[in-house]
Chains A and B, each alone.
Chain A
Amino acid sequence: EAGVVQSPRYKIIEKKQPVAFWCNPISGHNTLYWYLQNLGQGPELLIRYENEEAVDDSQLPKDRFSAERLKGVDSTLKIQPAELGDSAVYLCASSLVGGSYEQYFGPGTRLTVT
């Protein structure tokens, strides 16, 4: 079992460019999370999916961020256009049900916006 897979692991882009991150959760996990982690901070939830439905996207900056989880498996998080302040680690996690169950995290994607 590979665990939660994320790609790319690192991404460097210029500001105003678009960027996309991909996540493949653990097989059978119906809940998927995208977190933002700034340096020296804990993960902050961007969006939570239960199967295909985004059940909590209250912290997702919808003017530039978008996410989708087609067929309730893989998910993609997109930023367009990227800003300097978006430089951070983007973490994907999955779990069997909601937050009561252990969340399994991916390795993260480190984004640098120049």
Chain B
Amino acid sequence: AQRVTQPEKLLSVFKGAPVELKCNYSYSGSPELFWYVQYSRQRLQLLLRHISRESIKGFTADLNKGETSFHLKKPFAQEEDSAMYYCALKTSYDKVIFGPGTSLSVIP
């Protein structure tokens, strides 16, 4: 079965603290993983994708095929990082499956 899980519905961290949003996936093929973000009153938008191996707004994510994980990390959280974060998996048939999302709240 193809599935994306995000175990935390809510995550609160203090400003300046490290943050890690967890994502695990289930897929027998070769996955492509993405993180999408939705800020308050804004549209869902792409944050980063694993094939780019880039850092966006200080966030990074590494695909770990052994643990089937794609956790999103940032060393120092900022208030503007407060948002809803969705992990997504693209299958070999170009189907994109989204996780349930994690709401990140950065406390000043």
Chain A: residues with CB nearer than 8 A to chain B? Answer: 3-4, 33, 40-45, 48, 55-56, 91, 93, 98-100, 102-108
Contact = CB atoms under 8 A, between A and B. Distances in A.
Contacts of B90: 99-100
Interface residues of B, number: 21
B96 A105 contact: no
Contacts of B43: 3-4, 105-108
A40 B44 contact: no
A42 B101 contact: yes
B32 interface: yes
A3 B45 CA distance: 12
B9 interface: yes
Contacts of A104: 45
**Closest 9 pairs (CB-CB, A-B):** A98-B94, A42-B98, A99-B90, A105-B44, A99-B94, A99-B96, A102-B46, A105-B43, A43-B98
A102 B46 CA distance: 6
B93 A103 contact: no
A41 B95 CA distance: 18
Contacts of B96: 33, 45, 99, 103
B95 A45 contact: yes
B32 A100 contact: yes
A40 B45 contact: no
Contacts of A48: 94-95
Given A4-B43, A41-B100, A106-B43, 13 more contacts: A40-B9, A40-B100, A41-B101, A42-B99, A42-B100, A43-B44, A43-B98, A44-B98, A56-B95, A99-B94, A99-B95, A100-B90, A105-B44
B70 interface: no
B7 to A, nearest CB: 14
A41 to B, nearest CB: 5
6 contacts: A40-B9, A41-B100, A42-B99, A100-B32, A102-B46, A105-B43
A99 B49 CA distance: 11
A106 B44 CA distance: 8
